Amino acid sequence: MRWTGKLAVVGLVALMTFPTAYTLQQDSVVTGHVTYAAMDGFDPCIAGIAGIVRLRVMWFNDQVLFERAADEGSWVYATEAGAPDPRDQMLVPTGEKYEFVDPNNVDWAVTEYTFTGVEAQVYPPNEHHDILQWGVWVVKTGPTVRDYAATGRSYNFVNLVDTCKFNAAGHALAHSHDGSGNWTSSEANDTTENQHLANDPDHAHESYQVNLYVGPEPQVLVPANKPVNP
């Protein structure tokens, strides 16, 4: 049985170039000793999405009568825009899994899969639809937590996507930040940065559209004698 819920997405930011502040670092070396150098930078491929899955009961005129956060144990799927619905597919694990603890001490495990399907839309739109291999990133919802320190918002999932594995990698929007909260985009009416806390150092990156789905545990296709837990 499939169900869907409302997704309130906190943000999606894909940082595609290292910030200029980190491209050059000068340090000292001491003979007979090891010097520690921290070469920090933004990941050029991985982007994060945090949000909340809510379940609603609607009144006759579509007003919200009752609302609650989804229980732990639902699954949030993330694909690039244009991919088919991954909940209808047999997913093949790539072996990539991202396990991390967020700043509010909640553990998350994101599993990467692939599947083959017909392109739902193309750029620019036309009648040609390709059969492609798509990436999908799946995470299990967790407890509802309020992020007091950074956003003040509640969330019950954190997912990651690898934008370097998107099929439509050439259709991203280019952004640049000057480190003071100002930013520019390659598209005049771009609003994707409204969710981005722009107090970072001077840097540039790209943003992508993604589709989010809520559903049951993934249907996983694995080779014989090689069980994989989602």
Task: List pLDDT tens digits, range 101-132.
Answer: 999 999 999 999 999 887 665 455 555 556 78
Q: Does a structural domain hold residue 169?
A: yes
Q: Does a structural domain hold residue 173?
A: yes
pTM greater than 0.85: no
Residue type present at position 156 = N
Q: Does a structural domain hold residue 113?
A: yes
- Which of 73-77, 159-163, 167-171, 217-221 bottoms out in mean pLDDT, i.e. has the lowest? 167-171
Average pLDDT of the segment spanning 16-26: 48
What CA–CA distance (Å, rounded) separates 114 from 91?
A: 6
In this prediction, residue 21 carries a pLDDT of 42
Whether the pLDDT of residue 219 is over 70: the answer is yes
Domain of 181 in residue numbering reads as: 6-22+37-215
Q: Does a structural domain hold residue 41?
A: yes
- Which of 1-15, 96-110, 181-195 bottoms out in mean pLDDT, i.e. has the lowest? 1-15
Q: Does a structural domain hold residue 117?
A: yes
Q: Does a structural domain hold residue 171?
A: yes
Number of domains forming the structure of the chain: 1
Q: Does a structural domain hold residue 223?
A: no
Residue type present at position 98 = Y
Report which of 169, 180, 136, 192 is spatially closest to residue 44, judged by C-alpha positions: 169
Q: Does a structural domain hold residue 207?
A: yes
